[in-house]
Amino acid sequence: MNRPAPIPVFARVRLGEIDSTNEEAKRRAAAGAVAGTVIHADRQNAGRGRSGRTWHSPPGNLYASLLLRPSCSLATALQLVFVTGVAVAAVVDGVAGAEARARCKWPNDVLVDGRKIGGILVESQASANGAVDWLVIGVGLNIVAHPDDTSSLYPATSLAAAGAGGRSSEALLDALLSAFSDTYDGWRRDGFSAVREMWLARAHGLGSPIIVRLADGILQGTFAGIDDSGLLLLDTAGGRRTVAAGDVFPAHAS
Ligand code: BTN
């Protein structure tokens, strides 16, 4: 399969209210929109997270989706979740300062002070030969507002709550696209290993006891990192397990 395509020139589309920037990017992908199209909305009335969950989307936060046509295998393209996580965390650090170092939580969350500040939703369509036709990377970053703890799966926060409010979604999108381009270039040049190292350097809960909620059960063990495909490594009483999909919680939260 081919090496991923170079990062395209960004073509930004600014919208007021939309159902979901991912949905809009997917509609445009199906209609032939160019790679590099970025859908940025002030608010979403049907914002979505992983596993069909609702993404709280009031005005003032960042909601953006990037359309790519990376011409590589789906397995390779899905590494972009980690590229994006590293980029979002770098943006948060850039505005929140070193004392609030952003962490990456497997597979697609960005945390500050152990609370979720951003999430990433990647959706894709493959063509007949198995290569990716299009890939949409949606990012939600809580700038001014976040869901309360009773309405979300994981405690949440915002830049404002972390003492770094006052940024526009436009300015944060500028920073995000720049950080994403840099990390994407490194990924394309050096492969996943460099991104994996950057992600692990920011990993939340590495070496700690965790619970992983799977679609069909629960696993408990020590979070031992991610493998060279981005799968979670879990050291359980029965040996090391790899996990492709699930929700991670600290073991004391069960
Ligand atoms: C998650 O943490 O479960 C992923 C959340 C992704 C939310 C973003 S907001 C912009 C884009 N549009 C959506 O409907 N979802 C993503």
pLDDT digits (tens), the chain, 254 positions = 567 889 999 999 999 999 999 999 999 999 999 999 999 999 999 999 999 999 999 999 999 999 999 988 888 999 999 999 999 999 999 998 766 689 999 999 999 999 999 999 999 998 877 789 999 999 999 999 999 876 677 899 999 999 988 899 999 999 999 999 999 999 999 999 999 999 999 999 999 999 999 999 999 999 999 999 999 999 999 999 999 999 999 997 54
Return the structure tokens found at 126.
């493959």
43 Cβ closer than 6 Å to some ligand 1 atom: no
pLDDT tens-digit readout, 207-225: 999 999 999 999 999 999 9
Q: For position 127, what pLDDT does the model report?
A: 82
Would strands 37-44 and 132-141 be described as parallel, antiparallel, or unpaired?
Answer: unpaired
Percent of the chain with pLDDT over 70: 96
pLDDT tens-digit readout, 148-196: 876 677 899 999 999 988 899 999 999 999 999 999 999 999 999 999 9
> Ligand 1: distance of its center to the CA of 48 in Å?
5
- Surface-to-core class of residue 172, CB atoms within 10 Å of its CB (0-12 exposed, 13-18 middle, 19+ buried): buried
As a dihedral over the C-alpha atoms of residue 245, residue 248, residue 251, residue 252, rounded to 10 degrees, the angle is -150
Evaluate the omega torsion of the peptide bond into residue 107 and state whether it is cis, within 30 degrees of 0.
yes
Contacts of 253 (CB under 8 A, 6+ apart): 211
Mutation to probe ligand 1, out of 48, 88, 136 (largest number of atoms < 8 A from CB): 48
Mutation to probe ligand 1, out of 139, 158, 169 (largest number of atoms < 8 A from CB): 139
In this prediction the pTM is 0.95
Which residues in 45-178 belong to E strands, given as ranges? 62-68, 103-105, 109-112, 115-126, 132-141
3-state secondary structure of 14: strand
22 Cβ closer than 6 Å to some ligand 1 atom: yes
